[in-house]
Amino acid sequence: MDLTLTPEQETFRETVRTWLRANIPEEWARQTVAGSDIPRVEAYDLLRRWQRTLYDAGFLGLTWPVEYGGRGLTFVEEIILQQEMALAKAPPVLNVLGIGMAGPTIIAYGTEEQKKRYPAKILSCEEIWCQGYSEPNAGSDLAALQTRAVRDGEHWVLNGQKVWTSFAQFADWMMLLARTDPAAPRHKGITYFLLDMRLPGITVKPLRQITGDAEFNEVFFDSVRVHESEVLGGVNSGWRVGVTTLMYERLTLGFGLQVRLRIALDGLIEMARRVEKTGRAVTKDPLTRQKLAQLWIETESLKYTGARALTRLLRGELPGPEASAGKITWVDVNQRLQEIAMEIQGPYSQLRRGSEWAVEGGAWAHSFLRSRANSIEGGTTEIQKNIIAERVLGLPKD
Amino acid sequence: MDFGFSQEQELLRATARKFFENECPSTFVRARMEEPVGVTDGFWNKLAEQGWLGLVYPEALGGSGLGFVDLTVLMEEMGRCVMPGPFFSTVLLGGLAILEAGSAAQKNEWLGKIAAGEARTTLALTEPNARWDAAGVTVTARQGGSGFVLNGTKLFVPDAHLADVLVVAARVAEGKSPEDGVSLFLVPRDAAGMTVALLPTMDQTRKLCEVTFRDTPVDAGALLGPMGAAWPSIARVLQRATVALCAEMCGGAQKILEMTTDYAKIRVAFGKPIGTYQGVKHKAADMLVDVENAKSLTYYAAWAMDENAPEAGLAASMAKAYVSDAYRKVAGTGIQLHGGIGFTWEHDLHLYFKRAKSSEFTFGDAAYHRERVAQLISL
Ligand SMILES: Cc1cc2nc3c(=O)[nH]c(=O)nc-3n(C[C@H](O)[C@H](O)[C@H](O)COP(=O)(O)OP(=O)(O)OC[C@H]3O[C@@H](n4cnc5c(N)ncnc54)[C@H](O)[C@@H]3O)c2cc1C
Ligand SMILES: Cc1cc2nc3c(=O)[nH]c(=O)nc-3n(C[C@H](O)[C@H](O)[C@H](O)COP(=O)(O)OP(=O)(O)OC[C@H]3O[C@@H](n4cnc5c(N)ncnc54)[C@H](O)[C@@H]3O)c2cc1C
């Protein structure tokens, strides 16, 4: 057991740290919302530029192969980068779904042509990706998806609808799951497509969320013609490919999530120091201290649980039970953190952006509302628990 | 960066698992619960033969010179079988106090004997005020005669009735701070005016005592560490013992998770194994999450101890806060998912449930350690 870094890794840390100090955009410090883990619409332009800057400096795709635009480094460097970004309160990357999911999946399953074509542009933020999995009648039960793709010569013709598709209104590409063989068993008739969002027949309708923002969308396909070269991982093999994407999501986004959580917690503590309740700083209130300390402890535990999972990966072992604990813990801690932020603000938590009385410009009201999605997006907590019970603990399937 | 156990450590785990399955089945545990001693000479000698009584003592003092991460592995296995007996009190409390604070002569006298299974000791720290901080030490040690005279009462002292020598924390002077003025003394079992009374405990695998001193004389050579300035040593011992306890608790929690999932696979209700039902599945998943996070924090704390990392104290408190809650919850859920059978004396679950409860309060409960975390992160 050794959590120390090699001299090369220490040097890398130093390089990242120095670079961040010099390059974090000034506007960010002003716009930054301490409690926010998801980029907000009004920050997109800034974040696009920021990702490009990170890419040009060589800090993106650290673990991706060099020939596909990456750096060929290990997950240790990736974690160092994420930690330093947290410490520096750096803006997040915009193309999260591309970097966290599309890129790694394409690198794992793509043809040589696909691997040359897509990953680098994901890193540089030239092409933003969204994930078209969920449908009105297929959420948790993803394999129930009904969007159809029918072969027509060299093309597949798409009809159907996706929903809750984050970033679809800005995305250039979509990871799309569609049914290509309705006669096959549910999991066997699905194909994974790389879909150009500019093709004719695609309509994107933003959906307003409880935050008031429109972050996710409905996406309709009306006889959209996709070329067969855009199939990823083989016709009717989409389930396997799609599940890989979800594994990457849990892994790569996992590191980032812990780090963003730590940023949010630091922000919460800073805010709490300034809030007075019955004549003293709320951080001196014994109950609040208990709650903040518990958040701290669990945020740290996520870090070390992540380190254990990473170690298995670096040793070339299969993921262990610790890998499953991450997402559930993160969701629980973040939602509790947001509740506590509201509690600390008391009546002020009712105010949102626009009121000069609102704490930190009403940012916490937004991140509080946004956190309700955490236990739904990327697989609900109930589904995560089913997976742990059945796959990790071996309890019988229903 | 590698945050996993080494091959040697995995080997130690396998050896220990097998050893305890053979030597410490629940029939053995239950027999020890019923009698005051809580251990057999045979079992104790076997622990010594394995080298486990001196695992973390330096080789020069008769130990194996291993670290806290190695110890973590062993403690997890001990927790798994709810091992009874004075291991904790002897090796990790009294023994570590001698290692931390003792003179070369004191270390030479005791640590080799402890490692060889020839001597037992404990740390008499807490008192009826039930505090784990320095302010809790009110037993007095007055200078007099050729040494000191002790007066007062210690409570919750583990295995004092088995100790050849007790390491006793006492106040030699009222200092500027509570830490100031605390000394440690080596008090032999037959010291005049000292009485040891075994307390009936809920967790019968852990024997606790009341120790009273009525004008108990100890000679000047009994002083362990600097006069009036032993608190830093005590704090270090507590920190280390806390981490070891957390590891033991993780081992117990892991075992309950396994017992419960095994049972849920075979117990049939409404025509199906109960593990088929989501009410059971989701609780089992919650148990796993608690157990894994508990391990992560504990392993980190053990590593921080070995590294003498500046954040080791914070790491220990983070672990104890989390693990105290986790073990209690996991043990409670384990009983729940077993239904009526889990509520019986015959089933082993209550051994773990009670161990979880006694461990929760040993070295400070979750609330105590969360407050410490709050202080250490400058809240
Ligand atoms: C903010 C946000 C962003 C999103 N972004 C995307 C995106 O970019 N791309 C995309 O494809 N999807 C996205 N989603 C969709 C998300 O993946 C789904 O909402 C999620 O998988 C749940 O599906 P559902 O909404 O249909 O709920 P349902 O599946 O209908 O679930 C309803 C409730 O029933 C429970 N439930 C369902 N089945 C079971 C079961 N077997 N056992 C126990 N309980 C069960 C669920 O846990 C939930 O509580 C997003 C969602 C949100 C909230
Ligand atoms: C102190 C005590 C006193 C008692 N006194 C009496 C008495 O006087 N008379 C009497 O007749 N009985 C008595 N009982 C028995 C009691 O009613 C049963 O223990 C109880 O009904 C549970 O049954 P079980 O023990 O067989 O557990 P099981 O039915 O085997 O249940 C084990 C676990 O599986 C869960 N489970 C089972 N089925 C499902 C499902 N479909 N969905 C989700 N979870 C499920 C249960 O909730 C439980 O957590 C007593 C029990 C106790 C502990």
pLDDT over 60 at B20, yes or no: yes
Ligand nearest to the CA of B347: 2
C-alpha angle with apex A338: A134 to A330, nearest 5 degrees? 55
Beta-carbon separation of A304 and B300 below 8 A: yes
Q: What six digits make up the tokens of B25?
A: 């089945």
Distance B79 CA to ligand 2 centre (A): 28
* Residues B138-158: b if buried by 16+ CB within 10 A, e if exposed: ebbbeeeeebbbbbbbbbbbb
List, for residues B243-285, the tens digit of each pLDDT value: 999 999 999 999 999 999 999 999 999 999 999 999 999 999 9
Beta-carbon separation of B4 and A311 below 8 A: yes
pLDDT over 50 at B82, yes or no: yes
Beta-carbon separation of A290 and B374 below 8 A: yes
CATH number of B7-120: 1.10.540.10
pLDDT value for A317: 83
List, for residues B181-192, the tens digit of each pLDDT value: 999 999 999 999
Domain B122-229 has CATH 2.40.10.220: no
List, for residues B286-305, the tens digit of each pLDDT value: 999 999 999 999 999 999 99
Decide: B269 in ligand 2 pocket, CB within 6 A: yes
Q: How far apart (Å, rounded) are the C-alpha atoms in residues B332 and B286? A: 12
Q: Where in chain B is the domain with CATH 2.40.110.10?
A: 122-229
Candidates B1, B76, B371, B372, partner chain A, best to mutate (most A CBs within 10 A): B1
Radius of gyration (C-alpha) of chain A in whole angstroms: 22
A249 is catalytic: yes
Residues of A with Cβ-Cβ distance to B1 under 8 angstroms: 2-5, 9, 76, 79, 307, 310-311, 314
CATH number of A241-391: 1.20.140.10
> A191: Cβ–Cβ under 8 A, 6 or more apart, which residues?
A149, A156, A177, A178, A179, A180, A231, A234, A235, A236, A237, A238
Beta-carbon separation of A308 and B278 below 8 A: no
For domain A7-123, give the fold.
Butyryl-Coa Dehydrogenase, subunit A; domain 1 (1.10.540)
- Domains of chain A, by residue range, sit at 7-123, 129-236, 241-391
Hey, which of A38, A96, A131, A134 would you mutate to test ligand 1's pocket, going by the most ligand atoms within 8 Å of its Cβ?
A134
Q: How far apart (Å, rounded) are the C-alpha atoms in residues B80 and B26? A: 11
Decide: B340 in ligand 2 pocket, CB within 6 A: yes
Q: How far apart (Å, rounded) are the C-alpha atoms in residues A151 and B73? A: 58
- The number of beta carbons lying within 10 Å of the beta carbon of residue A152 is 11
pLDDT value for A248: 67
DSSP for A287-344?
HHHHHHHHHHHHHHHHHHHHHHHHHHHHTTPPP-THHHHHHHHHHHHHHHHHHHHHHH
Distance B268 CA to ligand 1 centre (A): 31
pLDDT value for A75: 85
pLDDT over 90 at B38, yes or no: yes
Q: Which atom of ligand 2 is nearest the CA belonging to B343?
A: 53
Q: What is the pLDDT along chain A (398 residues), one digit of tens a residue?
A: 988 899 999 999 999 999 999 999 888 876 655 444 566 777 888 899 999 999 999 999 999 999 999 999 988 898 899 889 888 888 888 998 999 899 999 999 999 999 999 999 999 999 999 999 999 999 999 999 999 999 999 999 999 999 999 999 999 999 999 999 999 999 999 999 999 999 999 999 999 999 998 989 999 999 999 999 999 999 999 999 998 777 766 666 667 788 889 889 999 999 999 999 889 999 999 999 999 999 999 999 999 998 898 888 888 887 778 877 888 999 999 999 999 999 999 999 999 888 999 998 888 999 999 999 999 998 899 999 999 999 999 999 98
Q: How far A295 CA lies from chain B's nearest CA (Å)?
A: 10
Beta-carbon separation of B275 and A396 below 8 A: yes
Q: How far apart (Å, rounded) are the C-alpha atoms in residues A77 and A56? A: 17
Q: What six digits make up the tokens of B261?
A: 């999932």
Give the least confident one: A100-104, B102-106, B149-153, B276-280.
A100-104
Residue type, A373: A
pLDDT value for A90: 87
Cα torsion B15, B17, B18, B24: sign: positive
Q: Where in chain B is the domain with CATH 1.10.540.10?
A: 7-120
Q: What six digits make up the tokens of B223?
A: 């002083």
Residue with tokens 């509570």: B178
For domain A129-236, give the fold.
Butyryl-CoA Dehydrogenase, subunit A; domain 2 (2.40.110)
A207 contact B CB<8A: no
CB-nearest partner of A396 from B276, B303, B377 = B276
Q: How far apart (Å, rounded) are the C-alpha atoms in residues B306 and B300? A: 10
A283 contact B CB<8A: yes
A325 contact B CB<8A: yes
pLDDT value for A39: 66
Q: Domain B232-376 class?
A: mainly alpha
